[in-house]
Chains A and B, each alone.
Chain A
């Protein structure tokens, strides 16, 4: 509806005929029975209920969902992978699939889904996951970067996990055809295979390129600190089955983009790192104990909603 946006007349103001007429017009116009007030900018439920014309057009114009992973909530036919090996560059990410190993992407139809200017795509997904490991606190061994040394007493080092190592899940899309054979990372998302320092010492991605990423802890370490010291060995705690979930937005302000499918992929274990010169924060492959790291997953779902921005 139209609105009046005019300051009131204050003491001492001069009010002439033009001003009075303008003010009178203002107060008539918002309630005028013109096309703008009664049609374009004001309507009500009966119009929304117009079958086939309104319900899926004004707010959300498209909705779809699919089951991903090994859809077994009893965890009897799960998928388990071992952490990415130390051979650089790191292997391509694991693709979330069913118990037989077949990927479980969501298809957006033979013609794909076109996101036009003034529209936004919202993607939500969830997956039942179980990070675990073999051995005892393998993240504290060898060249691992997943622990700090604290003072056990008298300057003796006691390793305690940073609890930052994680498995990373993210989205890929296919924008070429509904054959769904050309998946690449969605915008603002790294594939975590970049040689960050150019010398092969660390592969991963910058945190600024993780906008569709969701993480779950690869392990949990628990210490019993005592007056600034860590005198006893920390305890490894099971991470257990938990729900990983993610959200991603794709607003389109100009042009259009047709999307044929989306899928969830993952890699790990990954660890924090920062460039001491540039200050950039990274997630890098934690290869020192990756062969001891495991991730199991069962089922989940992915949901896609397209709607108008205004």
Chain B
């Protein structure tokens, strides 16, 4: 242990102000600089651990229905999903699940890991238009994670019909964190047919997201 007492008071001595102040100061210093390294190694265990003292997990195993609904077009063939077409998707970043706000409450400051997983589909068959010079307009389901409005991670994203897992890490101050999980399609090329010849509803689905879920862990020490 650190020394708490700078000098022992002895009888019949004159107590000067400096002696009192030094003693007080030494005591305060010992207390305020008490090192947890000096505590017994088993001073804390799982049972004693205060909830969220060390870390906090934020997990949603099914985000809404798991499906993208921000741009869902019903004017598509039954062989397609009710999903984003160029008739309903006008560009820009849209939320993975419409109308849901993600708040990581009680974030105590420290390191944040956040991952977003699911499946994504992109109709990429029209990426190589005859009138375009290379590289054409390769299609991707671009994905990004924003934390408090700042990009934590951004990826070019799936190019076909495949699963995705996008994750990022960062250090953030204490306080509730606002998280947005967003997607963005590539705009159509100049040669793209965006309606089919089939009879009936015939807009062409350009992209979709489903099976969406997310997992975050804040480590506060």
Contact with A along B61-80 (1 / 0, CB 8 A): 11001110000001011111
Known: A33-B34, A53-B42, A58-B54. A222 touches B163 (CB 8 A): no
* A-B residue pair count with CB separations less than 8 angstroms: 235
Asked whether A54 is an interface residue with its Cβ less than 8 Å from the other chain, the reply is yes
- What chain B residues lie within 8 Å of A211 (beta carbons)? 61-62, 66, 211, 213
Q: Select from chain B the residue with minimum beta-carbon distance to A35.
A: B48
Tell which of B17-25, B147-155, B196-204 binds the partner. B196-204
Asked whether A310 is an interface residue with its Cβ less than 8 Å from the other chain, the reply is yes
**B79, A271: Cβ atoms under 8 Å?**
yes
Asked whether B127 is an interface residue with its Cβ less than 8 Å from the other chain, the reply is yes
Asked whether B187 is an interface residue with its Cβ less than 8 Å from the other chain, the reply is no
- What chain B residues lie within 8 Å of A244 (beta carbons)? 162-163
**B45, A53: Cβ atoms under 8 Å?**
yes
**B83, A281: Cβ atoms under 8 Å?**
yes
- What chain A residues lie within 8 Å of B124 (beta carbons)? 163, 220, 222
**A40, B49: Cβ atoms under 8 Å?**
yes
Interchain CA distance A42-B50 in the complex, whole Å: 9
Known: A57-B45, A211-B213. A31 touches B51 (CB 8 A): no
Which residues, 116 to 154 on B, are CB-close (under 8 Å) to A?
117, 119, 121-131
Asked whether A164 is an interface residue with its Cβ less than 8 Å from the other chain, the reply is yes
- What chain A residues lie within 8 Å of B193 (beta carbons)? 150-151, 225, 228-230
**A148, B196: Cβ atoms under 8 Å?**
yes
Q: Select from chain A the residue with minimum beta-carbon distance to B120.
A: A215
Known: A57-B45, A164-B161. A226 touches B130 (CB 8 A): yes
Known: A250-B61, A279-B74. A50 touches B42 (CB 8 A): yes
Interchain CA distance A118-B198 in the complex, whole Å: 52
Q: Select from chain A the residue with minimum beta-carbon distance to B204.
A: A148
**B66, A225: Cβ atoms under 8 Å?**
no
Contact with A along B200-221 (1 / 0, CB 8 A): 0000110010110101000001
Which residues, 260 to 295 on A, are CB-close (under 8 Å) to B?
271-274, 276, 279, 281
Least distance between B134 CB and chain A CB atoms (Å) = 13
- What chain B residues lie within 8 Å of A42 (beta carbons)? 36, 53
Which of B41, B50, B76, B122 has a CB less than 8 Å from the CB of A50?
B41
* Chief secondary structure at chain B's binding surface: loop
Contact with B along A141-181 (1 / 0, CB 8 A): 00001101111000101101111111000000000000000
- What chain A residues lie within 8 Å of B196 (beta carbons)? 148-150
Asked whether B43 is an interface residue with its Cβ less than 8 Å from the other chain, the reply is yes
Q: Select from chain A the residue with minimum beta-carbon distance to B116.
A: A247
- Give the interface size class of chain B: 35 or more
Asked whether B172 is an interface residue with its Cβ less than 8 Å from the other chain, the reply is no
Contact with A along B23-58 (1 / 0, CB 8 A): 000000001101011010111111011111111110
Asked whether B191 is an interface residue with its Cβ less than 8 Å from the other chain, the reply is yes
Q: Select from chain A the residue with minimum beta-carbon distance to B127.
A: A222
- What chain B residues lie within 8 Å of A50 (beta carbons)? 41-42
Q: Select from chain A the residue with minimum beta-carbon distance to B200.
A: A276
**B79, A272: Cβ atoms under 8 Å?**
yes
Least distance between A46 CB and chain B CB atoms (Å) = 5
**B31, A160: Cβ atoms under 8 Å?**
no
Asked whether A309 is an interface residue with its Cβ less than 8 Å from the other chain, the reply is yes
Known: A217-B160, A310-B56. A274 touches B126 (CB 8 A): no
**A38, B163: Cβ atoms under 8 Å?**
no
| Most interface-central of B78, B193, B205 (chain A CB within 10 A) | B193
Interchain CA distance A166-B49 in the complex, whole Å: 46
Least distance between A141 CB and chain B CB atoms (Å) = 15
Q: Select from chain A the residue with minimum beta-carbon distance to B201.
A: A276
- Given contact pairs A148-B197, A164-B161, a sample of 17 additional A-B residue pairs in the complex whose CB atoms are under 8 Å apart: A40-B48, A43-B54, A53-B45, A149-B197, A151-B197, A163-B122, A163-B123, A163-B161, A188-B61, A214-B211, A215-B163, A223-B126, A223-B128, A225-B128, A244-B162, A279-B82, A310-B55
- What are the 4 closest A-B residue pairs judged by CB atoms, nearest first? A214-B163, A226-B130, A145-B79, A225-B191
Could you pull out 28 A-B pairs where Cβ atoms are within 8 angstroms?
A39-B48, A40-B48, A40-B53, A43-B53, A46-B36, A47-B42, A58-B54, A120-B59, A148-B196, A148-B197, A162-B79, A162-B205, A163-B124, A163-B125, A210-B211, A213-B211, A214-B119, A217-B162, A223-B126, A224-B129, A227-B190, A227-B191, A229-B193, A245-B163, A249-B215, A251-B57, A272-B81, A281-B81
